[in-house]
Amino acid sequence: MPAPEKPVTNEDGKQDSSAIAEDDAAVRPPRAPPIPASVKINVEGAFIVDDEMNTKNGTANEHVHWEHKDIRLPYHTDVVSHVAVDIGGTLAKLVYFSRETGSTHGGGRLNFLNFETDRIDLCIDFIQELKKKQLKLNGSTPQELCVMATGGGAYKFYNRMKEVLHVDVVQEDEMECLIIGLDFFITEIPREVFTYSEEEPMQFAEARSDIYPYLLVNIGSGVSMVKVSGPREFQRVGGTSLGGGTFWGILSLLTGARTFDEMLRLAEEGDNAGVDMLVGDIYGSGYSKIGLKSTTIASTFGKVFRMKRLAERHAEDGEGLFNGDNLGGDHEMQGQFKIEDMARSLLYAISNNIGQIAYLQSEKHNLRHIYFGGSFIRGHTQTMNTLSYAIKFWSKGEKQAYFLRHEGYLGAVGAFLKRQPKNWGRRNSFDDIRLTKVMSKE
């Protein structure tokens, strides 16, 4: 999630617990998971349930956001006694399995929902409810429920979860979970991964078996960029602090919008040229010699300072014309600027910037495939289009951005899957290939 750091590879087992073979009990770090439960998720025939209105029971208010894209697992019948939660800086993402009761289809489904991290109490209450239900349904003892937890909040809220829930809470490494989740989505779930552009919206990518190496760009409050060379072989190569938190934070100050979706709606109605300085504003035309069109954004919010100064000068001169009074029409204004224009400008700037850095990192590390995940994206078409365009633009069409329908749940799904025996799943997405290799050498 965070910005500058010294990238530390996990290829050196001494520095990275995830690289330690799990059967080597002597060197197992204190936070390694307990021996996996003897369940096996059957992903045969898995599919995404499209746009179904959820009629879930339990907590439902503005602090809880249900996704309407469950993953049906028609052939899974075993008891699942764990839930997984990925607690980030702003959102806590929850994944759990439910049986398809009252249905002739059988099997079950993975459910996806999130809470604001500041309402972690609601998230814990929700897990408490799941625990009670599970007890009733499965007859298992409450102690058997296990919470697989990842993200920073897995550490920050560890004690709180233990105290309230009285269950096992297993802490899992954030980056590792992201990668496991992404690998799962890429290899196991049809119609999950897609490319996006205005001309060709949502083109699903074929499932691939040779997925490595690739770059994962996870955009939450902050942005992490992770180079993935193989299953559980990864390195956080960079990131930027200009992420979702920046967008939400600045816009909540400038526009008064109170939810992420409200901010995205504003962006859809805005014209960034209302606040951005374009090449045409500086040159009066394009700067064709180096290929800059007059509509290219020269400076994000670059018009604001000038226009404010101008308005002040006119106000001092006793002219009221430029101070923005009644210029907004139906639009809410911040001074002489439309809040929609500011939202669009900031969305462009942050997406563009992430796109450029992602491209440059992919060049530095020789990675052709770039996957974008994280709760900032929210399936928002403008955001995806900007990220996509940036990758295409900077790579001169050589590279492409890939998106996921469950983009916000990579970490949560990864944590969910870690509670698994090895070698499940139809395309071996969860094999520890490195371990296999080591063993075959001996």
By C-beta, is 323 or 436 nearer to a second copy?
Answer: 323
By C-beta, is 6 or 136 nearer to a second copy?
Answer: 6
By C-beta, is 231 or 238 nearer to a second copy?
Answer: 238
Kindly identify the residues of this chain, within the stretch 257-316, that bind a second copy according to CB under 8 A: 258, 275-279, 281-285, 287, 289-293, 296-306, 308-310, 312
Kindly identify the residues of this chain, within the stretch 313-352, that bind a second copy according to CB under 8 A: 334-335, 337, 349, 352
By C-beta, is 65 or 76 nearer to a second copy?
Answer: 65
DSSP secondary structure of 402-431: EEETTGGGHHHHHHHHHSS-SS-STT-TT-
By C-beta, is 365 or 422 nearer to a second copy?
Answer: 365
Instruction: Tell me the residue ranges of DSSP E strands in 356-399.
Output: 369-373
Shortest separation between residue 207's beta carbon and a second copy, angstroms = 29
Kindly identify the residues of this chain, within the stretch 218-237, that bind a second copy according to CB under 8 A: 220-222, 236
Q: CA 21 to CA 18: how far, in whole Å?
A: 8
Tokens of 83: 């839930």
By C-beta, is 54 or 334 nearer to a second copy?
Answer: 334
Kindly identify the residues of this chain, within the stretch 352-371, that bind a second copy according to CB under 8 A: 352-353, 356-357, 360-361, 363-364
- The interface region with a second copy, picked from 179-187, 249-257, 321-329, 416-424 by CB under 8 A, is 249-257
Is residue 372 close enough to count as binding a second copy by CB under 8 A?
Answer: no
Determine the distance from the C-alpha atom of residue 70 to the mean position of all C-alpha atoms in its chain, rounded to a whole number. Answer: 16
Options 67, 174, 183, 192; binder of a second copy; rule CB under 8 A: 174
The site that binds a second copy (CB under 8 A) totals a number of residues, namely: 92
Shortest separation between residue 47's beta carbon and a second copy, angstroms = 34
Q: CA 95 to CA 41: how far, in whole Å?
A: 14
Cis-peptide into 36, omega within 30 deg:
no
By C-beta, is 103 or 296 nearer to a second copy?
Answer: 296
Q: Are 334 and 307 in contact (CB under 8 A)?
A: no
Shortest separation between residue 350's beta carbon and a second copy, angstroms = 9
Q: DSSP secondary-structure letter at 221?
A: S
Shortest separation between residue 216's beta carbon and a second copy, angstroms = 14
- The interface region with a second copy, picked from 32-40, 84-92, 323-331, 404-412 by CB under 8 A, is 84-92
Q: Are 387 and 368 in contact (CB under 8 A)?
A: no
Shortest separation between residue 315's beta carbon and a second copy, angstroms = 13
Sign of CA dihedral 437, 440, 441, 442: positive
By C-beta, is 97 or 157 nearer to a second copy?
Answer: 157
Shortest separation between residue 152's beta carbon and a second copy, angstroms = 3
Q: CA 122 to CA 59: how far, in whole Å?
A: 8
By C-beta, is 33 or 425 nearer to a second copy?
Answer: 33
Q: Which residue pairs, CB below 8 angstroms and at least 24 apart, start in 16-23?
A: 17/173, 18/173, 18/176, 18/232, 19/232, 21/435, 21/438
Helical residues (DSSP H) of 47-157, grouped into ranges: 120-138, 153-156
Closest CA to 228 of 382, 417, 11: 11
Q: CA 254 to CA 262: how far, in whole Å?
A: 13
